[in-house]
Structure 1
Amino acid sequence: MKSKKVIFPESHNIEVREDEIDLEDVSPEEIVIKKHYSLISPGTELACLADKENWFELPGTPGYAAVGEVVEVGDHVSDVETGQIAYFFGSHSEYEKISTDRFFLATPDSLDEKLIPFVKMTTIAMTSLRVSDIELGDYVMVTGQGLVGNLAAQLAKLQGAFVITTDLSDRRVELSRNCGADLALNPNKTDLKDEIRKFTELGGVSTLIEATGIPKVAVESLELIANEGELILLGTPRGEYRDDITELLNYCHLEQKGNITFKGAHEWRLPPFHNEYVKHSMERGSKIVFKLMEQGKLNIKDLLTHVIEPEEAEEAYDGLKEKKDEYLGVLMDWT
C-alpha cells in the first residue's frame, strides 16, 4: 500500500514522498495506525528543517503529535483493537508502524479529533508548571505566545496565577488576551518594565516562563522578575548569544539585584509512562489535558489556524516562520 510522508531531505528543503507499506508484514508486538491528523510543532520542526537539532538526522520525517485509527494489530497485542482512535507521538506520515512500548493513548469519544494532537503541545507547556513554585495569586509572565507559550499561560491561569504575556505579533497578543491573559503586551509598543511594575505592585513577577527559546529574551527578561523569583526555560534555547556571564550570574546571585533561580522545563525530564513511584508523567499529563479539554477549561479551537493537505507543507512551514500573525496551529490532514 502507498503511504505519503513529509520529508526534510536536506536543510531548508521539504518534499512529500510515497513509500510502500506492507500491512501484512506486522511484527507480533506492533500496530499500524492510519493517521487522521498530525500537528506541526513550529519551534522544533523549523529547527529540524534548518538542521539545528542534533537528535534529528537529515533526511528525516518530522512530527511528534498525531491522532489516527488502528488498522492492524500484531498477534501478541492484546489491549489494542482495530478501529480504535489513538493519540500518539506520530510523525507527518499517512501510515505508521509503532511498537506497543511506544507512547499511545485511546482518545475520549467526546473530543474533536482535530484538537487531539494539541495535547502534545499542552503537556510540553505543562512541564513549566510542574517545575515551578507557582501558587494561588502569584504573578506569572510568559514570554512568547506561540502554541506552547499560549498554552503555558492558560495553564498558569488555571493554577490560580495572574498572568502576563508578551509577543511581537499583535495577533498573538490579542489571542492571548482572548485565552485569558490578565495583561497581554507587545514589547515593541510599550514600556514593559513600567507596565509590569504597575500591574504587579511587587517590582516584578515571581515566575517568568520563557517560551520563545531566544537566549537574548531570557537574559533581558531577568529585570522583570522580583527578588526570590524564578526563570523557567520552557522553550529550548537556540541561536548564538554573547554577554558578560559574570554580570549575569551576579544578577541572579546577589540579593540586592535578583537572587533568581533558573529551572529547565524540557518535557522529557518526565517519564513517558505512569507508575506508582512517580507523581508526574507524560501519560498522566495527557489524561489531565483530555479532562480539561472535555470540561472546556482550555481554549484550543482558537489556536487552530490552518488545516492543510500534506502537499501544502512547504507553504505552511514558510508561514510559520514568516507570517506569525496568520499561522499558529497547523494540522496536516491525512484523511
Structure 2
Amino acid sequence: MKNRKIMFMSPLEVETIEEDYIPGKLGEHELFVQLVYSLISPGTELAMLSGKEAWAKLPICPGYSSVSRVLETGDGVTEFKPGDLVFHYGSHSEYQVVAADQLLIKLPEDIDARWVPFTRMATVAFTSVRVSTIEIGDAVSITGLGLVGNMAAQLARLQGATVIGVDLSQERIQTAASCGLDFTLNGGEGDIKEQILRLTDGKGVSTHIEATGVAKVGVDSLAWIAKLGEIIFLGSPRGEYNADVTDILNYCHLYNRGCITFKGAHEWRFPTHPAEFVKHSLVRNSKIVFELMKQKRLHIEPLISHVIKPEQAREAYEGLRLNKDQYNGVLFNWS
C-alpha cells in the first residue's frame, strides 16, 4: 500500500511524501490504524521545524495529536476492534502502528471527530489548572491565547475564576472572546499592568498562567500578580533572555514583592494512565475533556482555522510561522 507522510526534511523545509508501506505482523498489544484527522501543535512542531531542538533530529515525521480508525489488532488487544475510532498521540503518517498500552482512547459516538485532536492541547492546558490554587471568585490572567492558552483560559473559567486573556493578535483576542473569556486585552496597547489592576480593584490576579513560552513575558507579568499569588509556566520557555535573576527571585522571596509562588505545568508531570495513589492522569483528563466538548462547555469550533489536505502541509506550516493571525488550529483531513 501507499503511505502518505509529512516530513521535516531540513530546517524550514516541509514535504508531503508517498512511500510504499508493507504492514508487518502486529505485536500482541499493537494496533494498525489509519489516520482520519491530525492536528498541528504550533509551539512544539515549529520548534522541531527550526532544527534547533536536540531531541528532534531532522529529517523527521512530526505529529502530536490524532484521530485514527483501527484496521487491525494484535492477539492480546481486547478493548479495541477494527472500525473503532480512537484518539492517540500520533504522527502525521497515514498508516501507523500504535501500542495499546499507550494513550489510546475510543471516541464516544456522539462527539465531532474534528474536535477530538484538540484534546491533547486541552490536557496540556489542564495541567496549569491542576497545579493551581484557582477557586471560585478568583481573578486569573493568561498571556498567550493560542490553542493551549485559550483552553487554559476556558478551563480556569470553568473552575470559577474571572479570566483576563492577553495577546498581541486581535484575531486571537476575538476568538478568545467568542469562547467566553470575561476580559481580553491587547498586549501591545496601553499598560497591561494598569489595565489588570483596574479590572481587579487594584489587587492584581491571584493566578497568572504564562502560555507564550517567552521568558520576558513571564517576568513582566510578575508585576500584576497579587501578594501570595502564583505564576504558572505552561508554555515551554524557549530562546535566550538576559535579566537580573536576583530581582526576579525576590518576587518569590520578599513579601513586599509579593511572595509569589512559581510553578511548572509541563504536560508530563502526570502519569499517562490512572494509578491507585495518583488522582490525575492524562487518560482521565482526556476523558473529562471529551465530556466538556460534548456538553459544549469547552469551545473548540472557534479554534479551528483550517481543515486541509496533507498535500498542503508546506502551506500550513508557512502560515503558522508567518501568518499567526490567520493560522491557529490547523487540522489535516486524511480521509
- Whether the aligned pair in 2 keeps the contact of 1:3 and 1:19 (CA below 8 Å) is yes
1:42-81 matched pairs, under 5 angstroms: 42-81=42-81
* Of 70-79 and 324-333, the range deviating more from structure 2: 70-79
Residue 86 of structure 1 aligns to a residue whose secondary structure is strand
> Does residue 234 of structure 2 align to residue 228 of structure 1?
no
| Corresponding position of 2:198 | 198
1:140-159 matched pairs, under 5 angstroms: 140-159=140-159
> Does residue 216 of structure 2 align to residue 216 of structure 1?
yes
Residue 196 of structure 1 aligns to a residue whose secondary structure is helix
1:202-281 matched pairs, under 5 angstroms: 202-281=202-281
* 1:236 counterpart letter in structure 2: S
Q: How far apart are the structure 1 equivalents of 2:183 and 2:253?
A: 29
Alignment root-mean-square deviation, CA: 1.1
| Corresponding position of 1:97 | 97
Unaligned runs of 5+ in 1: none
* 1:184 counterpart letter in structure 2: T
Q: CA deviation digits over 1:77-120, x for unaligned, max 9?
A: 22220001100001111011012222100001111111110011
- Whether the aligned pair in 2 keeps the contact of 1:309 and 1:334 (CA below 8 Å) is yes
| Corresponding position of 2:291 | 291
- Whether the aligned pair in 1 keeps the contact of 2:178 and 2:302 (CA below 8 Å) is no
* Of 288-297 and 95-104, the range deviating more from structure 2: 95-104
Q: How far apart are the structure 2 equivalents of 1:174 and 1:65?
A: 25
The TM-score, its normalising length taken from structure 2, stands at: 0.98
Q: CA deviation digits over 1:267-319, x for unaligned, max 9?
A: 10000011222100000000000111111101100100101111111111111
Cα displacement (A) at 1:13: 1.1
- Whether the aligned pair in 2 keeps the contact of 1:32 and 1:96 (CA below 8 Å) is yes
- Whether the aligned pair in 2 keeps the contact of 1:23 and 1:72 (CA below 8 Å) is no
Identity of aligned residues (%): 51
Aligned length: 335
Q: How far apart are the structure 1 equivalents of 2:133 and 2:202?
A: 17
Residue 256 of structure 2 aligns to a residue whose secondary structure is coil
Q: CA deviation digits over 1:176-234, x for unaligned, max 9?
A: 11111111010111221111111111431110000000001001111011111101000
| Corresponding position of 2:29 | 29
Q: How far apart are the structure 2 equivalents of 1:20 and 1:28?
A: 24
Q: How far apart are the structure 1 equivalents of 2:32 and 2:79?
A: 14
* Of 96-105 and 142-151, the range deviating more from structure 2: 96-105
| Corresponding position of 2:183 | 183
Cα displacement (A) at 1:48: 0.5
Q: How far apart are the structure 1 equivalents of 2:218 and 2:20?
A: 45
* Of 36-45 and 316-325, the range deviating more from structure 2: 316-325
The TM-score, its normalising length taken from structure 1, stands at: 0.98
Q: How far apart are the structure 2 equivalents of 1:55 and 1:227?
A: 38
Unaligned runs of 5+ in 2: none
Residue 285 of structure 1 aligns to a residue whose secondary structure is helix
Q: How far apart are the structure 1 equivalents of 2:228 and 2:24?
A: 59
- Whether the aligned pair in 2 keeps the contact of 1:11 and 1:49 (CA below 8 Å) is yes
- Whether the aligned pair in 1 keeps the contact of 2:65 and 2:120 (CA below 8 Å) is yes
Q: How far apart are the structure 1 equivalents of 2:299 and 2:251?
A: 37
Cα displacement (A) at 1:69: 0.4
Q: How far apart are the structure 2 equivalents of 1:327 and 1:101?
A: 34
Q: How far apart are the structure 2 equivalents of 1:157 and 1:251?
A: 26
Q: How far apart are the structure 1 equivalents of 2:36 and 2:117?
A: 10
Residue 124 of structure 1 aligns to a residue whose secondary structure is helix
